[in-house]
Structures are given as structure tokens and as C-alpha cells.
Structure 1
Amino acid sequence: MSSKKIAQFLKKFLKLWKQKGALIIFLLITIYLTFFWLSPYILKYFQINYNQKFIFYSVSEPLVSLLKFSLVLTFILLFPFLWYFLISFFNFLYSFKKSHFWLFYILGIFLFYLGIVFCYKVTLPFGIKFLISFKTEKIEPAISLGHFVNFFSFFVLAFGLIFELPLFICFLSMGKIINPLKLGSYRKEIFFMIVIIAALVTPTPDAFNMSLLAIPLYILFELGLFLSKLIQKSEAISKVSILLWRIPRKSLRKISSFIWRHST
């Protein structure tokens, strides 16, 4: 990973920004304002889904919450474009094969949205029900709109990005920063680290919710190791095939030159 390549990539990006910057800003503002208009309806759906009523403690809290929520939704919608930019950056550094480039791109989008769906459908319902279960006859739950938006945004984005683990393992392996064979020998330590991450990220401290994240994370880690080893093997095979192709070409040249010299 050389600084020259990074500088070249930034130059290309700035050139593209000069050409398309105004259009990109216009689209971002349009999408953001659309989500700002839709946010009250989406939050109302969450109220019905979780059987709760949101409240607010300050005059500015609804506006600030809607602005934050719209920003998160805009990021989620535009993730494929942001991911394409990031993959292009890694492609510029490591020169992916075309098949690898599109594999990383499609798999990255799939894993990001899979993490969001997993969080929304599995983790958040369990977490919210668990936290609200501490109510009593004298203590009724009242969820602040601002706190819910922060809670929802953090966990949804965290799960989406955490599910990108296999691809980041591949990138680190291709950059020679980690060795998948050596990394595989530390499975026990990595599983322990995954359990700690699951304990920090999941909204509830119970073992069931922790396992809901820890088990998929470990599977994603194994998937990252498998892809890294597969890419290393394909690179080794391509190098060997190139070498095997060069050897007969060199020998044929020598034979042809030998025949040419002796025939004349």
C-alpha cells in the first residue's frame, strides 16, 4: 500500500468530484429531504410495531431526532454507492481481478443489508422487550424520541458494518497485513474477542441475545478465512500457470533459433 497509489486515487476522485460534484450534492439533498418528510411516518410505524408511544423532553428534540434519523436512512440507502467507492479504492491498491471486484461489491452490499435486517428483525425486538420488561405497576415505560433514534441508529449501523467482517479479512490478507493461515490458529482467542464484542454491542446483557450476535459473527469470521485462503490459492495457481506458460515459450524460442541457425 504505497502513498503514491493513494495520491493517484485521490487525484482521480477530485477530478470526478469537479465534474459530477454539483449533481451528487443535489441528489444527496433530494434524498435527505425525502427521508426527512417520510421520517414521521416511519417512526409512527415503529411506535405501532413496538407498542410504545414516543415522548420528547425539549422543544428542539423532535426536529433534531428527525434530522439524525433522515441522515441514517440516507446512509443506508446510499451504501451501495459508498461501498463501490471503497471497493474501487482497494482495487486501486491491490489490483483485483474483475471477478473478485464484483464478488466483493455484491457480497459487501448483501452482508450490510443482512446485518441491518438481522438487527431489526431479531436483536432489536428482543432487546427492547427485555429493557421494557423492568416496568412495574408504579413505573411505566416512556421512550424518548431522541433516545430511540440514537439507540436504533447505533445498533442498525453497527450490525450492518460488523457483518462486513469477512471482506475486511480478505482486504487485510490481500494487503499482506494478516496471514489467514496464522489467523486460523488463533480461533479460541478470536472467539473470546467476538464474545466480548457481542457483549458490548447487544442491548441486553443476557447470554441468549449475546449468542444471537456471537454465533453469526464467528461464522462470518470463518467465511472471511475461507475466502482469503481461496483468493491466495487462485493467485498462486495463476502465478504457476503464467510460469508454466512462459517456460515452453522460452524453450520454443531457443529451439526455433537453434533450427534457424543450423538451417542457414
Structure 2
Amino acid sequence: MMMPIWDHLEELRERVFVGLLACGVAILTCFCFSKELVVFLEAPVADAGVRFLQLSPGEFFFTTLKASGYAGLLLAAPTVLYEIIAYVVPGLTKSERSFLAPIVFGSSILFYTGLAFSYEILTPAALNFFVSYADGAVESLWSIDQYFEFVLVLMLSTGLSFQVPVIQVMLGQLGVVTSEQMFSIWRYVVVGSTVAAAVLTPSTDPFTQALLAIPLVGLYMGGASVVKLIEQGRSQASTA
């Protein structure tokens, strides 16, 4: 039974309200623990002898607001995603629902994996490179605001770049691109991943860019392999 348009709008309003409320509560909670959050984000260079400075009045306060906002949105993302899915799913066919669930789940896993990879490997490597490069010449006194801008942008861009396999699976499922075509352009993918890593990473050192480019190539090849498995399963189902 189809719902009247006004019922759809009312449901949309309620789900938008729940999503915004979840974001607000998550951001406020993160702000209440903002100093602990700052210590957590400073951990990649905690043992490198870096000192953080507040270069203007209120810089640290606005930096905690920014960090709390980013962290709160990340914490509220599952709730927002659920509200979007709950609103969209009733209007989808059975095959579309079965396709949506693994896409959403895989996208979420890859995004948070990208964040973890950036925090545990990419960010410490980039920051320690800068510290070691300056060792013996200048003392590492960093602006707290610029440091967090660097770390948060790097983490967010890494999380987004890890969505490559999701896009590949969607294109393969829709029949836009085949796995054979994906594998055939692997040379361009290597070059494109290198360029993307240079654009996405705030630093300019080749070591950090390589640390991001290599996983991007691996993710692309993994996505192409998943598309190939889907094609094989579809072919077996059609011949059965």
C-alpha cells in the first residue's frame, strides 16, 4: 500500500530530526571529552619530542570545537546511515534490498578501516618523517590548530579513498564496467593512485604518498576481483 506524499514528508522530517539529534549529542559528548580527544590525536608524535603551541587567543578552544565536530560526525554516522536506509528501503525491490545491504556494510567497514589505517600507519609515518627531517636543525614547535588540520584532513581523505572497491562493485553490479575492463587498465590505476595520493595527503613527502598509493592499488585490484566473483556467480546462476 502506497503512502500519501504528506506521510512520506512527515517520515522524512522525523528521520532528519533523529539524524541531526544524533549528530548534536555525539558532538556535545566529544566536546565534553575534548582534552582526552586531543591527547588521543596527539599520540602519533607523543614520543617524538614535539611541543604544541597556542599561537593566538582561543586557538586551542576553536581547535577542540573542530576536533569534536569531526569526531562527533564520525560517531553519529552509523545512526545517520541507518535513518537513510530505513527511509529508502521500503521503496526498493527485493533484489535492490539484497544489493544495498552488503554495499552499505562494506562501505562502512572500509571507511573506518581507512581511518584506522591513517591513524595507526599513515599519520605517524608522515609526522615522524617531518620530525626526523628537522632534527638537528630546528626545534619542532607546532601550531595546535595546523596540526589538527593536517591530521583530520589526512584521516578523512584516507577514509574516503578506501571507498574505491564500493564504487567498483556498484558499477559492476549495474553492468557499467566489467572486471576484465577493470583489470586491463591496471597501469593507469597505478598512475592514478599515485596522483590521488599526492592530492589527498596534506604532506608533500613521497614516502607518505607511497603509503597511501599502495593500499589504493590493492583496494582497486580487490574490488575488481570481487566484481569478477559476482560475474562468475551470475553466470553460474544463469546456466543452472
Q: TM-score range by the shorter chain?
A: 0.7 to 0.9
Give the equivalent residue in structure 1 for 2:152: 153
Residue 45 of structure 2 corresponds to residue 50 of structure 1: yes
Q: CA offsets per residue over residues 222-243 of structure 1, 9 Å max, x none?
A: 11112223333434444555xx
How far apart in 1 are the matches of 2:90 and 2:225? Answer: 20
**1:31 matched residue in structure 2:** 26
Preserved contact between residue 44 and residue 127 of structure 2 (Cα < 8 Å)? no
Per the TM alignment, residue 149 of structure 1 is displaced from its structure 2 partner at its CA by: 1.6
3-state SS, counterpart of residue 80 of structure 1: helix
Q: Show the 5 A alignment for 1:184-263.
A: 184-239=183-238
Q: In the TM superposition, what is the alpha-carbon distance from 1:73 to its structure 2 partner?
A: 0.5
- Distance, in Å, in 1 between the alignment partners of 2:87 and 2:205 is 40
Inter-CA distance 64–13: structure 2 relative to 1 (3 Å threshold): farther
Post-superposition offset of 1:35: 0.6
Structure 2: how far apart are the matches of 1:168 and 1:96? Answer: 18
Q: How does 1:39-78 map to 2 (within 5 A)?
A: 39-47=34-42, 49-51=44-46, 52-78=50-76
SS at 2:68's partner residue?
helix
1:191 CA displacement: 1.3
CA apart distance, 1:138:
6.0
In the alignment, is the contact (CA less than 8 A) between 1:32 and 1:74 conserved in 2?
Answer: yes
Identical aligned pairs, as a percentage?
22
* Bigger relative contact order, structure 1 or 2 (CA pairs below 8 A, ≥6 apart): 2
Q: Report the CA distance shift for 1:187/1:231 in structure 2 as closer, same or farther (over 3 A).
A: same
TM-score, scaled to structure 2: 0.80
Q: Distance in 2 between matches of 1:15 and 1:105?
A: 25
In 1, Cα distance between the equivalents of 2:140 and 2:146? 13
5+ residue gaps, structure 2, are: none
Task: Tell me, yes or no, if the aligned pair for 1:55 and 1:144 is still in contact at 8 Å.
Answer: yes
Aligned AA (1:227): V
* Aligned-pair CA distance for 1:89: 6.0
**1:111 alignment partner in structure 2:** 110
- Number of residues paired by the alignment? 233
SS at match of 1:59: coil
CA change 1:13–1:144 in 2 (3 A) is farther
User: C-alpha distance in 1, partners of 2:173/2:167?
Assistant: 10
Distance 1:11 1:230 in 2: 43
Q: Does 1:124 align with 2:123?
A: yes
Q: How much has 1:86 moved relative to structure 2?
A: 6.9
Cα deviation digits, residues 52-86 of structure 1 (max 9, x gap): 33212222322321221111102221233444537
Go from structure 1 to structure 2 and tell me whether the alpha carbon gap of 1:82 and 1:24 turns closer, same or farther (over 3 Å shift). Answer: closer
- Among candidates 76, 79, 104, match of residue 77 of structure 2: 79
Distance, in Å, in 2 between the alignment partners of 1:223 and 1:11 is 44
Structure 1: distance between partners of 2:165 and 2:7: 28
Checking the alignment, whether the CA contact within 8 Å between 2:53 and 2:144 is kept in structure 1 is yes
Which range is displaced more, 196-205 or 118-127?
Answer: 196-205
**RMSD, aligned α-carbons:** 3.2
Distance of 2:27 and 2:198 partners within structure 1: 33
The one-letter code of the counterpart of 1:27 is A
- Contiguous gaps of at least 5 residues in structure 1: 1-7, 242-264
Tell me which moved more, 198-207 or 184-193.
198-207
Q: What SS does structure 2 have at the residue aligned with 1:192?
A: helix
**Does residue 18 of structure 1 match 2:13?**
yes
Q: Is the 8 A contact 1:130 1:204 kept in 2?
A: no
Structure 1 distance, partners of 2:87, 2:180, is: 27
State the Cα deviation string for residues 31-66 of structure 1 (Å, max 9, x = none).
111111112222124445523332122223223212
